[in-house]
Structure 1
Amino acid sequence: MSEVVYPPESLYNLIPKEEVYTEKTPRYMSKYRSTVVLEKKTAKDAMRTMGPVKVEVPSPDKYLKKHSKEPKLPEMTQRTREGRNRKPAVPTRSDNPTMGIHTKRDFIKTASAVPMKPQPICVDTRKGHKQLLGNSGLLPKYIKKRDYGEVPEYLQRAQKEYDSFVREQKEQGAMKHLSDEERQAVLESLKKNWDQLHHKYQGLSLVTDTMSKKSHKERLEVAMKQLESDINLIERFKTIYIPKN
C-alpha cells in the first residue's frame, strides 16, 4: 500500500482562508450596435424576394427596332438644300478675269523642279539611332576652308618679329653669326673637354667613403651633364648667334 503524505500540522491551517474572486472586464459593446442591427434588418427584409420590390416594367411599344441604333444624318431642310445646289453665276462678257492668283501648290512648277537630294545620315547605335552626317564630326570639313594648309597668321607674325629682331641686332653689331668651321671647332672642343672629364671620372675609386671623394665625383657629374646639354644644343641648331662682347 502506498503511504499517504499529509501536510505538516500548523495553527495557520486551521484558520479559514477567504476565497479571492477576480472580476473580468466587461465585454466591449459598440454604441452603434443598435443602429447597425436595425439597418441590416431593414435591408434584409426589403430584399427577401428575387430582385427589388418595385421594378419598372418595360412598355410593349418600346421594343428594339431594326436600324434604331445606327447614326442618322440631320434632316435636310429647304435652306440647306438650296445652299448645296447653289453655283456661282456665269460671268458676263464685260467681266475681266482675275489675274495674279496663285494656288497653294503649282503643279507645273512642282513637276519641272529638281528633286531634293536626301540628306546623308549616320547611324551610330545598333537600335537605329541616326543623326546628320555633317554634325557627326566624321566629315573632314576643315579641308574645305580657304586657309587650309597655310601657315597661321600668328605664326607668320611671330616669324616676322623674330626676323626683324635678328636683323636689328645684326645691324647694331651686338650679335655674331658662327660659321660652319667655327661651329665645328666649338663642338670638337666641347667633346674633347667631355672626354677629359670622363677619363677622370673613370679613374675614381669605387668606394667613396670620404666627403672629398663624394664632392669631387658630384662636380665631375655636373660638369659632364652641362657639356652634354651644350653639345646637344649645338648639334640641333645649325644657325647660332653669339654676342660680340
Structure 2
Amino acid sequence: MSITVRVIGIGPGGPGQLTLDAVDAIGATDVFLLLDKGSRVAELNTLREELVARYGRDGHRVVRVPDPPRDRDPVDYGAEVRRWHRARGDALEALLRTELSDGQSAAFLVWGDPSLYDSTLRIVDELRDRDGLSLDVSVIPGVTSAAALTAAFGITAQGIGQAVHITTGRRLAQTPAGADANQIVMLDSHLAFTETAADDDHVYWGAFLGTEHQLLISGRVGEVAESIAQARRRGREEHGWIMDIYLLRRASGRQPGGDGA
C-alpha cells in the first residue's frame, strides 16, 4: 500500500501565518488525520478544520482518532514518551490502512514547525517500518512559535555575536554554563524561570501567538513573574488550554551560569 504523507507546519495558530507552501500542500491532500485530545482542547482541532475547509480541495476528508492517554508526571519520562509514541503510531497505522486507498495522500497539521519539539516526524518514521506500508513523506516547514514571539515583541533573539539556546521548562535548570545568555523556553507549564532566573534577568513571554487571544508580557523577572503566572492561569481557565513560550535573557553584567538567587 503506497501513500503520500505530508507533515505540514501551520504556525502557532494565526491563519495569516500559514505559508503558501502549506496552502498548496493542504490543497493537494485527500485525507487529514487529527489526533483528538478531547473537548478540553476542542478549539485546537476547530482551528485546524477551519484551515482545511478554507484551503482543502473538493472531496477531502478529515478523520479524527482519540489521542492515546499519557502520564504527564512519569517516573521515567523518556520511557513514557516512547510508549505514548508507539500507541499513537498504532492508532495512526489503523487509520492509514482503513481510511486511505493505494495512491492517496494523507496529511498531519502540526502547530508551529514539525522539527521543533513535536513528535509527528518520529511517529511517521516509525510507521515507515511497518509491514505493508510504503510511505512517501514530505515535510512543509511552518512559522515557529519562537519566530512569532520575537516578531510580536519586535526584538532579535540574541545580542551581537551571541548564541541562542532552545530548551524546555523541564530542562531549563540543566542549561550548561555559558549557554544561558539567551534562552527560548518551550513546553513549560510550571514557568521554571521563576526558580532559575535572577530578578534582573529579562523575560519576554507570549501565549496564543498570532491569534485573537494573544497575550504578551515582558520585563525584569522580579517585576513581571507573578503577572505572567496570573495571565497564564487565566488564559488556561478561559480557553481550556494554553500554548505559550518565552525568551529568557541574562541581565547585562551577570556572569554566565551565575547564581539566580
Q: Shorter-chain-normalised TM-score: which range?
A: under 0.3
Higher relative contact order (CA 8 A, sep 6+): 2
Structure showing the higher strand proportion among its residues: 2
Q: TM-score, normalised by structure 2?
A: 0.14
